Structures are given as C-alpha cells and as structure tokens.
Amino acid sequence: MPPMPLVQPPAAVLLDRDGTLVADVPYNGDPDKVAVLPGVPEGLARLRAAGVPTAVVSNQSGIARGLLTGKQVDAVNRRLDQLLGPLGPFVICPHGRDDGCGCRKPASGLLRRAAELLGVAVERCAVIGDIGADVEAAAAVGARSVLVPTEATRVEEISTAPAVATRFDEAVDILLGAP
C-alpha cells in the first residue's frame, strides 16, 4: 500500500475574529469584553511552530451602522494581540451588508488584501471561520477553509462546508495534516 500523501501546509491562515478567535459579542467596541475561545491559544501555537503566518479578516458592519468606531475596533484588535500574541495584520470591512463593497465576506476583498500584506498568493491561504460567509470567501479565491460552527452557524452552512472542526485547534490540525 503506498504511503499517504502529506498535506501541504497553507502559505498563511486567515482568521475570522468574532465567533472564531473570540466569543461573538455583537458590535463589540470594548476590549474588556474580549473572551478567547477554547482551543485558540493551542491552535495558534501550532501554526507558529509550523512557521505559518496569520492575519485576521473581519466584517465590522457596526462601524457603518454607527454602533462603534474604527478606534474601538482597533482597541479590541490590540487586546487580541495582548492575549494571544501577534496575529499579523488585521484587515476589516467597515461596510454594511447592503453597501455593495468588494471587501465584506463572502466577497473576497478582505482575503486578497490580507494575502497581499503577508506576501503570499491568496489561493495558497486557508481560512478558519464560523459561518458560511467565511467558507464562501475562501472558495471565491480558491483557498481552503475549515468551518468551526457556533450557535450562529446555520445547519446548511455546516453540511456544505468542505471541512468542519469542533474547535479552533482541531481546525488547525486539519490544515496542517496532523494525525
């Protein structure tokens, strides 16, 4: 029997923020409300040990809605870096659902920009997220994705995702080809 082929690690992993790295607090502009989800520190440690860079790609429509400011989003992002170590660039979409931008997931703009900032081809990236928009954005650029469902994830998003994990660290193991 021939040996199993090794999984090629992604050139970078692009991470959704709310619901993936931290508990989803709607329109959170308060760094004190940041709560890291189980498995995230362990998964990030595995990515770092494998030399895989990361970036955070996050829709932040609360800015367009006037519910929080860009400075508040930046403060929350800085808190993530304090709690988890450097995560790479934070690339956000400040637009609302109906603004017609090209950056808001499931569009591919956030992923393309993050890959550019990391100096890697976007199709060689992988995305870890908690909803279908994360998976769709990855598919739009030919990138791999792993869905880590939460209560907000719809059943049809789970059933159509190319890969599903129960926790962030398991998603990393899938991407790195860990047994």
173 is catalytic: no
pLDDT digits (tens), the chain, 179 positions: 544 445 689 999 999 999 999 999 999 999 999 999 999 999 999 999 999 999 999 999 999 999 999 999 999 999 999 999 999 999 999 999 899 999 999 999 999 999 999 999 999 999 999 999 999 999 999 999 999 999 999 999 999 999 999 999 999 999 999 76
Model pLDDT, residue 3? 47
Collapsed DSSP state (helix, strand, coil) of residue 77 = helix
130 is catalytic: no
Q: Which two tokens stand for residue 118?
A: 């990391």
Domain regions of the chain by residue span: 12-176
Fold of the CATH domain 12-176: Rossmann fold (3.40.50)
Q: How many CB atoms lie within 10 A of CB 59?
A: 27
Model pLDDT, residue 6? 56
